[in-house]
Structure 1
Amino acid sequence: EQQLKPPLKPKPHVFELTATSFRAFWKEPTTFGSVITRYEVQLTLAPGEKCSEADYIAERCKILDSVILEPEIRIQHISEGQQYRLRVRAENEAGWGEFSDSVVIDTPLTLPTGAPPAPKVEVSNGEESSTAAVQWDLPEEDHGVPPDMFEVETRASNGIVLSDFAKVKNLPRWTSCSIRVRAHNHAGWSEYGPP
């Protein structure tokens, strides 16, 4: 009589990779005559900026740990520009087999088709006469990626001052001053909006 053994390691393959999703499939591994009852799929962040090596080893960087019946899975809502590791194991009547070797998945970073348009600016007097509160709306069209920073330019009769703060202080008293803002994303800077 042959003794039952757990299945061998599956070999997952990744396809339909986008910036925020992918699909994975694998062939049924050798089962030694016993039917596969289910699969366990684990997705973890790879060691790096968001997951330390110690946390990865301690298995604290798991994004997904799921038991499924079919040898295929679609994973959505993951981060773009991130590295993940996927592994799978199979179970039969003898128990769980070993996890597959990890498949490294690098989600692409979505690049914008262009710089964002210039923001629309509203300026109001601050609490002090030398302060102005500057507020702007996010551009409606961001060319695929929202702005990651803004630059505020103040221009008075004594020259240009560049600042990346939303509250502009130490404006020259009794001098007219214009304030305008521009936005930045991975593709570069927009033009300045009207003062």
Structure 2
Amino acid sequence: MNGRIGLVAAVCLGVFVGLGCGGSDEKPPITPEPEVTLPQAPSNVVAVPGDGQATVTWGAPSDGGSAILEYIVQVFVGDSEARTVTAPASETQAIITDLENGTAYAFSVVARNARGRGAASARSDAVTPHVTPGAVQNLVAVAGNQHVALSWEAADDKGMPLGGYVVTVRSETSEDATVTVPATELGTTFSALTNGTAYTFIVTADNGHARGPEASVEATPFTTPGAPRVTATTGSERVTLSWTVEDTGGSIITNYRVTAYLGDEVLRTVETSEPRLRLEELENATTYQFTVEAMNAAGWGEVSERISAMPTRAPSEPLNARCQGGDGWISFTWEPPEFDFGHPVTEYRLSAVINGNSTSWHTTELVYHVTEVPNDRTPFTFYIQARNAAGYGDGAELYCSTWPPRP
């Protein structure tokens, strides 16, 4: 009896124990550990060359589930790996030193995590480490007729041979023009320039990879002036010359030279800084010739055409002037002046002050009949003058009146 009760109790206990475990024999699920892979390849690898070095940058890749421990930068010359350089995981750039200037290098980057090295990035474009040359020294420009000659002393190549010198000419009136001069030459000449135009010349040393600092100089090409255009005015025993110069040759005119001729004989030469000159102590009624030339920094320019001029004066007074009065009229007669000074008489003027009014009469004849005078035997002073290209000359003075019949 007791044995049966114990068995039942054991069975019941087992049932209750089973219920206490959830009432099932299944085990709880287990979460799997994430799978760790190699890092992916870095992206956007770019290299910037410097003096004996290159700065390489890249974009960080996916770490494959494990923190990146470092980067390995592979250095290539052509298709051959020259060496590798490690960079800490915290950086996405590396400065690769001890490179040879003038040699082209490319770079690839690999990331490493606890699992190992990942795939290498695409290679960067090849770059060439180089130096920057110095500036040319003592740059000099010598201007001439439509050209400028440049010269300079060699630039410091900083240990890397120069490929040449780059020379640029610039002005406000034309587009820039550039030429390359071999490194063995220390000068060049620019031709077909415009006289009087200011140009700037810029020279830089070039080693094929970098250009040095600029050196510049300004110059204005020029030549001797063109021929002046001369005009002349005359007076008594003098000639006044004036002139203009359209073509200055591209340089400021500093002086003029005037030469006076009598036939083929040079009478005198005068220099002046003004564009005009009065020559005195010349002979009236004598024809002279004159030339003018201008001077600038290039020297004396073209000689003007000869211009002729005759110093002159107004005629002397008419000769043998007479007057005869009548009933309401006065008649005048005279003879030509003794001297017309090289310019023919063109007319005569008869003048007087009558009743407070200045009155004049003009004629080309040697006689004149005046009726516009008071008919009362009042005498008046009359003047008879001859005129030529220089103007009215001295007057012959006469006292005349009408002579009406007496009552």
Greater relative CO (CA pairs within 8 A, separation 6+): 1
TM-score by length of 2: 0.24
Larger Rg over CA atoms: 2
TM-score by length of 1: 0.48
